[in-house]
Amino acid sequence: MKARIIESDGIRIYSESFGNTQDPTVLLIMGATASGAWWPDEFCTALAGSGRFVIRYDHRDTGGSTSYEPGAAPYSVEDLADDAVRVLNGYGIQKAHVVGMSLGGYISQLLALKVPDQILTVTTIASERLASADPAMPGIAPELLEYHSRAADLDWSDRDAVIEYWVGAWRLLSGSAHEFDPELIRKMAATDLARTPNPLTAFNHAALGDAVGWLDRLKEIRQATLVIHGTDDIVLPYVHAEALHKAIPNARLMTLDGVGHELPRAVWPDVLREIHQHTGVGEQGPA
């Protein structure tokens, strides 16, 4: 694994890469409030070992990337998509496959529309449509909202307390099919905190809003799209996957039975195999 800082337009983006630069590039985009550290090292290494050049990076306000004061973020979700392009350009990548989890999947759809010539394929994991709000679609489970309502009482300067807070949150996100792995969560949380000056800045993502101007255009996506989603997701229930699958032409749906808003180790072999097959479409090369 190699770290690289990308400086562009006054924005600093921290990134890490795995594998051979001559292999097809897969850009991993994590969800809201989460740095690239939440893509497990072993997952990235295994994907790279299958013949992919893998890049993960920290969104603004997470990890080692540019951060702002809590409650004072001067950027939009479209700006976060532009940051993904900054990462690719920083590596000299003309074309790449994108794999996004949760908000990362939303950003991946936006990239497919905004810079279609640079995106070869799209994979979304536990994501929702880039579309106008639909009141008929179920939202986040009350128990998760109740859990996060306690965040104001947490001592965010207490590293161990913050790590255990995230363990508790991910325990709620875990589905019924596989045993929860607290040690994996502790490891990723510790890595995240080690390069995050102030973990409270990540909550700036709560004010991102929608990608205005790009909503309800999923029929325009021409890249091959793989939708991966668990049936026990309590953040974006499974019907979101069905709606996303239906909205994008020729999309393919991979259902993870009993999996929540997560990517548990037990499903990695199947998910990695599907991503490897899916990213066999097209080619990429350095600029």
Instruction: Give residue limits of the domains in the chain.
Output: 2-278
Beta carbons within 10 angstroms of residue 45's beta carbon? 13
Beta-sheet pairing, 252-256 with 224-230: parallel
From 118, 123, 66, select the one nearest 284 (Cα to Cα). Answer: 118
Q: What is the mean pLDDT of each run of 10 residues along the chain (287 residues)?
A: 96 98 98 98 98 98 97 94 98 98 98 98 98 96 96 94 97 98 98 96 93 96 98 98 97 98 98 97 47
Beta-sheet pairing, 119-125 with 25-29: unpaired
Q: Are the CB atoms for 279 and 26 separated by under 8 Å? A: yes
Q: Name the DSSP class of 59.
A: P
CATH code at 2-278: 3.40.50.1820
Q: What is the CA radius of gyration of the chain?
A: 18
Q: Is 30 helix (H, G, I), strand (E, B) or coil?
A: coil
Q: What spatial distance separates the first Cα and last Cα of the chain, rounded to whole Å?
A: 22
Q: Are the CB atoms for 107 and 77 separated by under 8 Å? A: yes
- pTM of the predicted protein model: 0.96
| CA atoms of 203 and 75, how far apart (whole Å) | 13
- What are 55's strand-pairing partners? 17, 27
**DSSP E strand boundaries for the chain:** 2-8, 11-18, 25-29, 53-57, 96-101, 119-125, 224-230, 252-256
